[in-house]
Chain A
Amino acid sequence: MTPEALTEVEMITVVIDGFEVTVPKGTLVIRAAEKLGIQIPRFCDHPLLAPAGACRQCLVDIEINGRAFPKPQASCTIPVENGMIVKTQLTSPVAEKAQKGIMELLLINHPLDCPVCDKGGECPLQNQAMSTGRSESRYEGVKRTFDKPVAISSQVLLDRERCVLCARCTRFSDQIAGDAFITLNERGALQQVGIYEKDPFESYFSGNTVQICPVGALTGASYRFRSRPFDLVSAPSACEHCASGCSLRTDIRRGKTLRRLAGEDAAVNEEWNCDKGRWAFKYISSKERIATPLVRGEDGELHDASWPEALAAAAAGLKGKRAGVLVGGRATVEDAYGYSKFARVALRTNDIDFRARTNSDEERDFLATVVTGLTTTYADIDKADQVVLLGFEPEDESPIVFLRLFKQVRKRGLPITTVATIASRGTKKLKAKFIPVVLGGESAAIAAISDLTEKSVILVGERLGESHGALSAALALSHKFNAKLAWIPRRSGERGSLEAGAIGNLLPGGRPVTDAAARVDVAAAWGVSALPAEIGRSTSEILSAANRGELDALVIAGVDPLDISATALTDLLNTFVVSLEIAHSAVTAVADVVLPVAAVTEKSGTFFDWEGRPRSFDKAIEEAQSRSDVRILSMLADELGAPINLPSVAATAREISALGKWDGAKLSFTSVSGATSPAVSGDQAVLASWRLLLDLGTLQSNEPNLAGTARSAAAHISAGRAAALSVSDGDLVKISTERGSTVLPVVVDEMADAAVWIPRNSEGSQAIATLGNVGGVVVSVVKA
């Protein structure tokens, strides 16, 4: 907000407990008191939820211009007014008695099982019972009891007798997530949180209700009875799952991650995160973790090796060879910089790419010329007059972006337009205008958008690159209306890897490989005589070059071959592979040398979220012995006789900072003309897919409770196609390509007749593995 805008807000001065405080109009009394450091006890109040006034714990005495309210008022529901005098429990005996009375009433039916309750030690009820309650209960009656716990989903458990019915959870689900799967039912003392029997609490954001529950009524199945808060050591962290950029808190006990919570960052995730960010961390402690370096022996098997042995073996396989580097999209900026420098200095090549997924040259050009240095932020969404989603499903692919959009839709009816194959659940919740396309038709659909302004925001997802010419069309749309543009990748490391130059056409800091001055700049900083000048190969080209024997060796980190193509793994078979991994994978299975690296909780580093905002974090597990990728690359470079001098994450961060950003001429984007979708007839359809938030992703392994809330896979087809196949919702169809087929239940949806949509990587629906493609190809759809 500009300083001018700030002065436009009317300020109001009130007196609380004898102290004057001036706050913006609309501020609630409870919040104004906070500004003075006066803590009024509360349960239902939450600054990001609409006031409820239900718990009545925050009662205070109020008078306005000499007229006193006849009875104490809930300070969480009353906005300040000029001339208001507030007396809290500190100065009003009436308010103090009222609060004590409410606390006593809250406790009469509360089990006081604090010694076995997960919340004990960090419980607002426990704390406020100490500050506001009596030491002895006057209640001699029978406490209300319920069967316990009730699993309202596979990951959230409800202990109703502990509940103080503040409605934070139900209000969160309704107001913030748009998932009114839980609600209060029954009445009086039997009122309770409940679900519709056939509709469990399968919200992507359900974990937030556990976090904001002011008692131990909602607990996470994975954490329940595992620890006490006072035994945990908390570390501020950044989420590694997507590019939303959530601030997190990681809670550790004896070197093990027990839970993760949403951290507070008003500019990014406010106080929320998604269930994946909260609960998908068991991969870190999986049995598949690699403990020591491994070297493939004469017998063809991997054997434990010492670090010097493994580094020597890796160096022997790489030295003097034509080698490329594949960096999965989850590297920290520092690690990505390490790969970028390692490729150029130690391997003397620009054959490096962080896009472990479908990729195109148009996209690489777009990333280098448009995305580097883009500054669109969450705040731009808050101010937008319209948001356009292109190849982007925020609820599945960047959930905090979804929450921000939903907030603006709810608050002021922000108009949203989406160009997609199907109107997802997220699209419906956002009440978005849905422009249905058949994959390939995006560029024409985008070109037809005609009602944007310079206050509009265009959010481009990484999948838009899968449609030829669509990124060009998106850029043209942004230029036409001077609208803001943002590129939102799915993975946490992509934006940072781009800025670190882990791609064939860029050096760190957005320096074009093809710019001689940029190369000299970086070469001087790195202390080498020259850097390779030709644009390197892309992910697909690196793999096909390996297949053809044009590359002898590959360094691969954090890549699942099935994310790229059905043939990616076989492309590697005749190549010397050095794999840097945290756990055994398809790549380690064929690698010649495997070097174990640190998982995100075991190292420090930085992610850039989709905004390009740095999200730095320290090592959460102090005693972890594993090393960050960059440290290992530095040792390997030493072994190769071409040092990159990046002995630590901190040193790497300093070097990145010293190198700075490119201030020379940027290359201009070469527009690509749009494709059209393939023609289909009869049983044929054009395939489209995306990844659901909760699916078979590697980082979600070992967490069955989370997996239990994943949306089940279905094939979406139009009513016209359903009629032609004489199928209806729930009937099975078989979708096949030359490569294979998959059988899924049908959902009849509002969409183009020519299209079919399936989840990209869900249980029973793995597009690349079974069909060999993620979209844009013609498949056959028949009744199964």
Chain B
Amino acid sequence: MNGTSWADEPVELELNTPQLVFDQDGVKVFVEYKINEEGRKVKVTKKIQNKVIKHSVIKSVAERKAWQKFGEERGKPPGPSTTTTTVGDHVNLKLFQWGDVKDEEAELLEKKKEATVNHIKCKYCKGNHFSAKCPYKDSLKNLEDIVGPSAGAGADSGAPASPLVSGKDAGPQKSAYVPPHRKNPNSARDTSYERSEDLPTIRLTNLPPDTREPDIQNLVRPFGSISRIFLAKDRETGLCKGYSFISFDSRQSAENAINKLHRHGFGNLILNAEWSGNSK
């Protein structure tokens, strides 16, 4: 209470001193009045039960517990000091019946090691070691020289080739870079991208900022089946940037949509609907 203004003192005392109202069978009830964060006066009732747990110790041990501290600790208050005594992280002691004591860290390390080993692939025999350490290095290398580099690599019989390589075993160009336009058009390409290019697509502009994809869906669904809706949204705010692209399955429904939606009121704005770039 020292250091506070004399004017506050009586109020503080009255408010913050818990009053003992009940004391029986080791249970004490304290009542305290104080002002909470909202500035209201509240009553706090605290029930405290004291339980005495008795440990019996050897007499000499009990005597030693009462010893005065000495040396560097002379005059220090009782109880462990944080400068010398701390509690460490939890450790486990699991006793095992038989067998090896498992060491989780060691196992992890082993796994890690295995994983890195799996990345290493010999260029001659495809084994789990560096090419320089390949036991078949000399024989396979000679073979490569005679047959040519690709045939040499293909000549390995025992080692399983990865599915990617076996899929298009196309001779010398197997590992060389192939530009996208030279690639076989029937093979893997981003089909969804390709299709949206060809499909009749309309552009809706002047959309209100709070437009979401379901709104657009509701708007255009009556005109025919839709294959794709793109709604431009701000990356940070997630709000609509005001335009959207809708790809229809048929040109007819796209035309209908343009006719109906152009100059159509949506929210508080009037929409513009037109053919998107190359759909004309």
Are these two chains actual partners, yes or no?
Answer: no
Chain B: residues with CB nearer than 8 A to chain A?
Answer: none
